[in-house]
Homo-oligomer: A and B are copies of this chain.
């Protein structure tokens, strides 16, 4: 029977532009025998440290709580809704989220972090880097915290992935009655990102986590941009 373990990787040092993030995660994981990485693990890394390592930081006026708002406009290709200071927009990456994914928490005062230019590519690089440094074949999910249209509260979702399929398609498999299931395309990378969020917390500064024990059939080529970001032509709410 499948059994998942979800745990945070502690001790990743402060990440700065140009840092070898894969190496830092691999070293921190290896420093504690209970968190050493293994083949088949999914390593979930928060957008914020990926953006920091990739230098996606922009100086903002620390005395102005709205100083990042021009960046929101710059990173957006289409604004869907505005209410007060809140902007819901489609980013140039195709994500629809609040404030173009830009926020200021856990960043040095005076800076804002933009989303990575290509989070799937970020995930591939992290996966390659972890393989090179730790000798293990892991999948990587880059996670970010998004709101939802009709439900309060935020959850973490995947904005990039590598080594794992974004969506596992169970269409055509049989249910326990032998009836063919009609639509069961499960977005497993979002469920993985959410599970990892529960051990990372928002205030503790743990920047990466491991989900261990997923079905090996889910591993393989995958990416968020092509599999998960809904194309405008099939979108009923844009």
A interface residues with partner B (beta carbon < 8 Å): 1-8, 10, 81, 83, 88, 95-96, 103-109, 145, 148-157, 166-167, 170, 173-177, 179, 181-188, 190-192, 194-195, 197-199, 201-205, 214-215, 227-230, 235-238
* A114–B106 alpha-carbon span in the complex (Å): 44
Chain B residues closer than 8 Å to A201, beta-carbon distance:
2
* A182–B7 alpha-carbon span in the complex (Å): 26
B154, A185: Cβ atoms under 8 Å? yes
Extra contacts besides A151-B230, A173-B203 (10): CB < 8 Å: A3-B199, A81-B236, A81-B237, A104-B179, A105-B181, A109-B179, A150-B235, A152-B187, A153-B186, A154-B183
A175, B198: Cβ atoms under 8 Å? no
Chain B residues closer than 8 Å to A203, beta-carbon distance:
170, 173-176, 181, 184
Nearest chain B residue, comparing its CB with the CB of A192: B198
Q: List 16 A-B contacts (CB under 8 A).
A: A2-B7, A4-B199, A95-B150, A96-B149, A103-B182, A107-B177, A150-B238, A152-B228, A152-B230, A154-B183, A170-B202, A184-B202, A192-B198, A194-B194, A195-B195, A195-B198
B2, B88, B145, B157: the one contacting A199 at CB < 8 Å is: B2
Nearest chain B residue, comparing its CB with the CB of A82: B236
A176, B204: Cβ atoms under 8 Å? yes
Nearest chain B residue, comparing its CB with the CB of A107: B177
Nearest chain B residue, comparing its CB with the CB of A178: B109
Chain B residues closer than 8 Å to A107, beta-carbon distance:
177
B104, B170, B191: the one contacting A198 at CB < 8 Å is: B191
